[in-house]
Amino acid sequence: MLGCSEAAPSLAAHPTAPMATIASLSAPSPIRVVAIESQPFGENTYVVFRDGSESCLVIDPGFEPGAIITWLEETGLHPEAILVTHGHSDHIAGIGSLRTRWPEIPIVIGRGDAPKLTSPTGNLSAGFGLALVAPPADRLLDDGETFRGANLDLVVREIPGHSSGHVAFVIDAVEPPIVFGGDVLFREGIGRTDFPDGDFSALEAGIRRHLYSLPDAAIVFPGHGVPTTVGYEKSHNPFVRPGGAR
């Protein structure tokens, strides 16, 4: 698995029938968040939109884009942009299909991870014998800037360590704030740091600086697994403690 520390499932076992699961998650009004979990990596694609809006943002489209496209078509929501937390293959595999369906929507990713979109080595698919590539980025994001789309403002926070150009997206204009964290911080876990550009110290520092500094009630929607909160992780996360000592 690219996000967690478990053994990678065999891609030969990847089923032809969709296995994606779709869940509407609780989020502070007026924000709506829907998770579409793609197999075989259990990767969460998020669709985020304002209540009553006709447009949305799609974050990290994974290996089952058909489920994402079908859901969007059935609900009538129009994607305004594809946002990518980092360039690992399980988070980018669906980009091409979404762009085929909606050719006008831009691909938006942190500057440092943009090259992984088009590099099977960089996005780790080469290691699975897949040679997966996505279309190149249309817009590159830097730490601290705000991306605006679908009437939402998302602050970009660069948190390297799992992937060198990884970004998290923070919507801080709602109470509590919400974070699309990719593979940085999981419920009682963190992203792997054993890839070639991995760095535990950088990940630890970035979590403390950019996530543990948010209000305890801030909700983190992670790239794998269930949502968590900043306060819960500050109390329970065994890998990154809020203070100095681990």
Choosing from 2, 33, 184, 230, the residue that interacts with Zn ion (CB under 5 A) is 2
Label each residue of the chain as H, E or C.
Answer: CCCCCCCCCCHHHCCCCCCCEEEEECCCCCEEEEEEEECCCCEEEEEEEECCCCEEEEECCCCCHHHHHHHHHHHCCEEEEEEECCCCHHHHCCHHHHHHHCCCCCEEEEHHHHHHHHCCCCCCHHHHCCCCCCCCCCEEECCCCEEEECCEEEEEEECCCCCCCCEEEEECCCCCCEEEEECCEECCEECCCCCCCCCHHHHHHHHHHHHCCCCCCCEEEECECCCEEHHHHHHHCCCCCCCCCC
Residue among 152 and 190 whose Cβ is closer to Zn ion: 190
Q: Is 72 in the site for Zn ion (CB under 5 A)?
A: no
113 binds Zn ion, rule: CB under 5 A: no
Smallest distance, Zn ion to C-beta of residue 50, A:
28
Binding residue count for Zn ion, defined by CB under 5 A: 4
Nearer to Zn ion among residue 32 and residue 192 (C-beta): 192
**Closest CB to Zn ion belongs to which residue?**
88
- Shortest Cβ 163–Zn ion spacing (Å): 6
183 touches Zn ion by CB under 5 A:
yes
Among 32, 88, 99, 234, binds Zn ion (CB under 5 A): 88
* Residues at the contact surface with Zn ion, assessed by CB under 5 A: 2-3, 88, 183
